[in-house]
Structures are given as C-alpha cells and as structure tokens.
Chain A
C-alpha cells in the first residue's frame, strides 16, 4: 500500500515503451467453426474438471475457499490465503461428499499452498500444465465454489482469456472471480491446471491467478509443510519479485541511469558501479520506475539483455534475474 499512485499514473505511459511481442498467435476465433471447436473444448474441460474442483472449509472460522485435486492420492493445490492459519480443512466435493484434509505448506508471496486428503484414494484429479508460456489472448477456464460451497449448484464455470501476464508468477484474466473462488483452478483448453485463483481488482478484467509453475519451484518445501513469504498484492513489495541486483543512482541527461552499487550477483554478470544503464531488451530505459515496472512482469530465472555505457563505451551484457530476497 506504499505506492498506490505509482501504478495509476506511470504504468500506462511507461509500458508503451516496453517490448513489442508477436502475441497474435493464439487459438483462432475467426469463424463460427472455430468458435464451435472452442465450445467443444470448454464443455469437455468443464465436465472433466468438475469432480476435482473442491471447496475447502476451515472448521475454526467457517470460511470457505476452493482447491483442485492434482494427484490420485489426493494432493490439493490451493491459494495460500485460503489455508492461512489452519491445520486442517474440510474438503467438500461438488456432490457434497466430505473428507478431511491436512494443510501442508504455503508460499504467501506467490499465494500458493497445498492440502493433502487424509483418506486413501484414488481421487479424481487433474494434471498440471504450464503457466509460463501463457500470454495475453490465451483462452482459459476458471472454476471455484463462488461465495462458498452451495449444495444446490455445481461450481460455476467461467470462460475468458489471459489479459496480462505478471507480475512475477501471477497472471490476469477476464474470467470473473469472487470470494470463495480463491484457491480454485484455472485451466487451459486441454483441461490442465495452469493457475490458482488469487485475488480481484475493481475492473471485470482484473482477476488474478497464481501461475501453476510457481508450485514446481517450491514443491518440496510445500510438501514438507513449510510456510513462508508475505501476502502482498503490490508487486513492488513482493519479496520474490525479480531484480537484477543493482542500486540505481541519478538519472543521466539524454537517457540512462547511473548504477551506483552492484550486488555479488550483478558483479558476476559483469556490471560495475558507475556504469550507466541505457537499455533493457534493446529499449531505452527512461528512469528507475520504468525499469522496476518492466522487471515486475518478469520472473526470477529470466535472462535479460542490457545495454550499458562504461567510460563512454557502449557494452552489451546479459543478466539472469534473481528474487529480491536472494540478493545480497
């Protein structure tokens, strides 16, 4: 909540100078035949996913979220904030069947968590897909027990597309979500889990999901029951946001920013204090904020090309981004 104005004023202008990607390579919807094919896929996913889309109810508070079973032995993926503070939850299937679930680990920064059904399976489950390749225009299907478990209805199906990737591991879709949907699954058209419902903003287009790839990196810690991180919707204060590990100094007239300090990581990548950062991915860097917003959409592990000026000589470097909390 430290930078509310930050996004309002700056984001749109700055992002105009960000990368231009050929994003128009999505599932076509040019004809009614295309739409019919799409319909067939959505209906198939909805039917298949239904049985695995469960409600998670905390017995202490009575509050209710959602989750999705991803293995035959009953491992459930959900949002960290749904299981926060609970050790056990009731797992309710769309048909009302109810079993107990043990809360495993959670990474609050990514808003991802796990629950294990205690009773022996096999349980109906859905495979995980990949979230990193997703970008604006990809069709997705969201499900969840909106406004809490309702025995008179199946978990509502919502259809839409990715409207923006990032910040970090998150992505935004226009599948409208509401309380109770949190922790519920986002599917691609093949019916694989690609995200977990996390939060909403005011706009109907602003529905945020944690990318499923976030689980991959944290898998062992989550299974082991570790809980860490900080729930923070402001991408700039997210401890896991991607950074280069440099300190920025003053702005240089005519474009670029002085690099006033470098971490061990940045140093290894060849950056030196006093270098002037001129471009990122061949685009000119206007100021520190522009750079931060650009990086907010990236993830740790991404490699970024930068252009610097050292002793009046231009130099091209590549640096791998790191989580902010891993930089010393």
Chain B
C-alpha cells in the first residue's frame, strides 16, 4: 500500500481504522466521554425544541408500500390550505396501493399525488380525511454560512441540528457555464494555451482558435484550468464574458456568450470516494435522488433517507426550507423556502408524466450499464419487462454497489 497517490494512502489509513474499530464505534472512547457527549446533545436538543415547535404540527409521516410493506418512507410538509403537503417524490414514486399521512398527534389522512416538481424531487399531495396547520413560508433570504438549521420531525424531538455548510447554490448541470475549450498549461508559459475548441461552443462562436492563449476573463487573470473553472462558476449560461487572449504575440479581446455543456464528458468513477460516502450510511440511509437540484443549501444535518421532505427551521423558528436529500456521510440538502414559494406558484407535472420520465431515466441507465459491459455480455432482452422491473433493477444495482464496496474494502485490507 506504499504509493504516492494521496487518495490511496488516505484510504489505506481509513480502512485500517474502520477494521480496527468495528462498525458504529469510536475507538478508545471512555464511558464518561460517551456520557458527556450524549448529555450535551440532549441539552442541545432541549434548548432548540422551542424553535422547532411551531412547525411540528405541520410535519407528517408519509406512509407507503414501496415493496417492503406499508411503512413511513418520508416526511411531509403541510402547505397552502392545510389539505396539501409536499414530500420527497422519489421515495413514493414506486408505491403500490394508497399513500397515508400521519401527524404527530396520530391524525391520519389518505393522500393522492396531484403533481410532481421533478427537478426538486418534490411531490404535491392532496390530503383527504383530515387537515393540518400549514407552514408559514416567507421569501426571506437563505441563511448564511455557519448558521444553525434544525430538521423537524412529526413528534416534538427534532431529527437533527446542523449548520449551513455551503450557502444556497444550484447543483444543476445546465446552470454551469461552459466556454468549450480544451486547454493546458504545459509547458509553462504565459496564458492558458487552447488545444482545441469545441464546435458550436461559446469559444468557437467568439472566434477563439487552438493555439490562442487565454489571459483573462472579464479582467480576471487566469493561468490554469482550475482558475478558469472558478471564474466560470460565477457565471451562468447566457451570460456574456470578455476574453483577453494572446494570438501570435498580439493581445486581443473576444466577447463570448457562455453556454451549457453540450457534450457528456465521461466522469471518472471513483470507487474509493463512493465507499467513503457510504460510511455511516448504516446509521442514516442515503437518498436515492440526491443530485441536480436547482437550488439547495448544503448542510451537515443528519437526516435519514426516510426523514427527507420535512421542514427545516432556524433558531427563530422561521421555515428555512424543506429537507430534500441525504447525499452522503457529510452532506444533506435543503431546498430554500424562497424556492419552495416560487415552485408552488408553478404548475407541476402529473404523476404519470413524472413516472414515465423516471422509467426512461432508468432505461438510459440500463443502456449505459450495457455499454460499459464487455460486448459478449450484452445479451438482448427476450422477455418484455414486467411492471416494477425498473424498481427491481434499481434494488439490484444498489445491492451490487454495496457488494462491490465490501469487496474493495476487503481487497485493500489484504494489501495491508
């Protein structure tokens, strides 16, 4: 395991640690340390209880049978006239039979999905048989870095307290601005040398050519790709940007209109990182859908997969947003209240349309899996897929990933 690869070295240490300590434990933790930590966290929860109290009656358990019997699969947030609630769509999309919601006081209502906001992964439920107090959503500014967030639960004890880890941003790929150049800094020279310009890209339309050296974007000097990407991250597709560049020794300026990425660059799969993301997932399950949201606050809240969909408040009891995903060991996402208000003023798509889109996504994934397999293993499917096949496959893939992680961990263990 002696390599110069940083990630590899880190992982060696990590696996060794994990093996030595066993699951769910902290090595060498004294009982009085455990007591201190537990006492402190109980005190903390007690202190913030009043902050979360106003939204407790608006927080619901959402019950559905997604193949494991009827159970609580997500939380819901009561909105509008008290007969509607938002919940996490991907957790109920594959439900069989009726959906129920239950309040903290035991009040039960039946629920029907009347619309889906696909990008946010939120479903709008119509409740029948009971109504609940709705949360008060205001379009206040999203909370600042390091401020406390409290995830509510239907009973009096909040799920978790965390902080704003990264202020609200878009995780949507189409919000990322691209210039469309392949460039490098080798050999070291003035400017960022363009190796290739993608056809039809912002750079091509602005007249940049391979061999040009980019010096600055909107006056900010860029000397390498990381800086280029950092500058671009401050812009959106459609924004205009001035590019100062060097061509055959002479400086010039081009104006480009930034675009979305139009080629799918293959992402390098990072198995080790994926394993780390899952570490701790035994304590709190990870959400299936946890990417691509148009606006989210990143937090270190420890909400489980089945605790997404409920309101998140600040210390003053203001609804900051709706918890939408547990992404990995370190990250949970919250859709800001302002975005939820905007969303509710939009027309959602029907659940049928959303379901069809989900199936399609699943098929695309299957195709991708097929392409990545050696050709001889690509057997055409002879039998038409039965209903629910997509969900089954999803389960299989999840299991498989876990198995692979375990195997990787064991292999690394052997290296030691």
- Bound CA span A181–B12, Å: 15
State whether the Cβ of A299 lies closer than 8 Å to any Cβ in chain B. no
Given A35-B44, A35-B148, A199-B17, check contact A85 B4 (CB 8 Å). yes
- In the complex, the number of residue pairs spanning A and B with C-beta atoms less than 8 Å apart equals 287
| A204 partner, pick from B39, B43, B283, beta carbons under 8 A | B283
Question: Cβ of A152 and Cβ of B17 under 8 Å apart?
Answer: no
In contact, A154 and B166 (Cβ under 8 angstroms): yes
Contact A297 to B28, CB < 8 A, known contacts A34-B47, A39-B146, A84-B4: yes
For window 17-47 of B, CB contacts with A under 8 Å fall at 17-34, 36-37, 39-40, 43-44, 47
* Cross-chain contact A159 with B162 (CB below 8 angstroms): yes
Cβ B36 vs Cβ A136 within 8 A: yes
Stretch at the interface among A14-22, A255-263, A319-327: A14-22
Residue from the list A35, A47, A84, A147 in contact with B146, Cβ < 8 A: A47
Knowing A29-B44, A151-B226, A202-B21, the reply to whether A157 touches B164 (Cβ < 8 A) is: yes
CB–CB B176/A31 < 8 A: no
Pick the residue among B18, B40, B146, B416 that contacts A26 (CB under 8 A): B40
Complex Cα spacing A81 to B22, Å: 23
Name the CB-closest residue of A to B23. A202
For chain B, residues 223 to 243, give those with C-beta under 8 angstroms from any C-beta of chain A. 223-224, 226-227, 229-233
A161-189 to B contact mask, C-beta < 8 Å, 1/0: 10111110000101111111110000000
Chain B window 77-121, contacts with chain A (Cβ cutoff 8 Å), 1 for yes, 0 for no: 000000000000000000000000000000000000000000000
Q: Which of B5, B23, B47, B169 contacts A32 (CB 8 A)?
A: B47
Assess whether B338 is interfacial by the CB under 8 Å rule: no
Binds B, one of A89-97, A244-252, A305-313: A89-97
Q: B31–A15 contact, CB under 8 A?
A: yes
| A46 and B145 contacting across the interface, CB-CB below 8 Å | yes
Q: Does any Cβ of A come within 8 Å of B142's Cβ?
A: no
Q: A residues within 8 A CB of B298?
A: 153, 156
* Cβ–Cβ contact A201 & B283, under 8 A: no
Question: Is A98 in contact with B224, judged by CB distance below 8 angstroms?
Answer: yes
**Interface flag for B306 (CB, 8 Å):** no
What is the 8 Å Cβ interface bit string for chain A, positions 1-17, against chain B (1 contact, 0 not)? 10110111001100110
Does B330 count as interface, using CB distance less than 8 angstroms? yes
Is A60 interfacial (CB 8 A cutoff)?
yes
- Report the Cα distance A39→B148, complex, angstroms: 6
User: Which among A50, A95, A161 is the interface contact of B40 at CB below 8 angstroms?
Assistant: A161
Cβ–Cβ < 8 Å partners of A98 in chain B: 223-224, 226-227
Q: Please indicate which of the listed interface residues A58, A92, A200, A202 has the most CB atoms of chain B within 10 Å of its own CB.
A: A202
Contact present for B230 and A32 (CB under 8 Å): no
Q: Are A179 and B11 in contact (CB under 8 A)?
A: yes
Contact status B17-A85, CB under 8 Å: no
Q: Mark B240-262, 1 if CB is under 8 A from A, else 0.
A: 00000000000000000000000
Docked Cα-Cα span, A154 to B5, in Å, equals: 24
Find out whether the CB atom of B26 lies under 8 angstroms from the CB atom of A172: yes
Distance in angstroms between the alpha carbons of A115 and B329 in the assembled complex? 28
Q: Is the CB of B147 within 8 A of A43?
A: yes
* Contact, CB under 8 Å: A35 / B37: no
- Residue in contact with B18 in the complex, picked from A43, A156, A157, A201, CB distance below 8 Å: A201
Contact with B along A37-67 (1 / 0, CB 8 A): 0010011111100100000011011011100
> B25 to A203, Cβ gap below 8 A?
yes
Q: How far is the CA of A141 from the CA of B164 in the complex (A)?
A: 12
A234, B28: Cα distance in complex, Å = 11
Given contacts A47-B146, A81-B6, A233-B16, is CB(A159)–CB(B300) below 8 Å? Answer: yes
- Given contacts A1-B19, A157-B164, whether A18 and B6 have CB atoms under 8 Å apart is no
Interface residue B68 (Cβ < 8 Å from any Cβ of A)? no
Asked if A96 and B273 sit within 8 Å, CB to CB, the answer is no
A82 vs B10: C-alpha distance in the bound complex, in angstroms?
A: 7
User: How would you classify the secondary structure of chain A's contact residues: helix, strand, loop or mixed?
Assistant: loop
Residue B358 interfacial (CB < 8 Å): no
User: Given known contacts A31-B47, A178-B329, is B226 in contact with A90 (CB within 8 Å)?
Assistant: yes
Contact B227 A97 (CB under 8 A): yes
A20 and B16 CA atoms in complex are apart in Å by 30
What is the CB-to-nearest-CB distance from A101 to chain B, in angstroms, rounded to a whole number? 14
Give every chain B residue within 8 A of A164 (Cβ-Cβ): 26-30, 33
Whether, in the assembled complex, B141 has its beta carbon less than 8 Å from a beta carbon of chain A, the answer is: no
Given A86-B4, A157-B146, residue A203 in contact with residue B14 (CB < 8 A)? no
Cross-chain contact B226 with A149 (CB below 8 angstroms)? yes
Chain B positions within 8 Å of A233 at CB level: 13-14, 16-17, 20
Q: Which residues of B contact A172 (CB under 8 A)?
A: 26-27, 29
Closest-by-CB residue of B relative to A293 is: B28
A198 at the interface (CB under 8 A from B): yes
Is B70 part of the contact surface with A, judged by Cβ < 8 Å?
A: no
A320 to B155, CA, bound (A): 52
In contact, B17 and A201 (Cβ under 8 angstroms): yes
Taken together as a complex, chains A and B put the C-alpha atoms of A18 and B35 apart, in Å, by 14
B194 interface contact, C-beta 8 A: no
A71 within 8 A of B: no
B412 to nearest A CB, angstroms? 10
B207 at the interface (CB under 8 A from A): no
A179→B10 contact, CB < 8 A: yes
Assess whether B390 is interfacial by the CB under 8 Å rule. Answer: no
* B203 smallest CB distance to A (angstroms): 18
Partner of B147, one of A16, A39, A50, A96: A39
A138 CB to closest chain B CB, in angstroms?
10
Contact residues in B for A160 (Cβ distance below 8 Å): 300
- Which residues of chain B are near A50, meaning CB under 8 Å? 145
Q: Which residues of A contact B (CB under 8 A)?
A: 1, 3-4, 6-8, 11-12, 15-16, 18-21, 23-24, 26, 29-32, 34-36, 39, 42-47, 50, 57-58, 60-61, 63-65, 81-86, 90, 92, 95-98, 111, 135-137, 141, 146-147, 149, 151-154, 156-161, 163-167, 172, 174-182, 198-206, 208, 231-235, 293, 296-297
Q: List 17 A-B contacts (CB under 8 A).
A: A1-B20, A7-B27, A8-B22, A19-B30, A24-B39, A39-B147, A43-B145, A63-B6, A82-B10, A146-B331, A152-B176, A154-B166, A163-B29, A164-B27, A233-B14, A233-B20, A293-B28
List 17 other contacts, CB 8 Å, given A92-B226, A137-B40. Answer: A4-B20, A29-B40, A29-B47, A30-B43, A31-B47, A45-B146, A83-B6, A98-B226, A154-B166, A157-B146, A158-B163, A175-B300, A178-B277, A179-B272, A200-B17, A200-B329, A201-B25
The 6 A-B pairs with the shortest beta carbon distances in the complex, nearest first, are: A96-B230, A85-B4, A63-B6, A46-B146, A43-B146, A136-B33
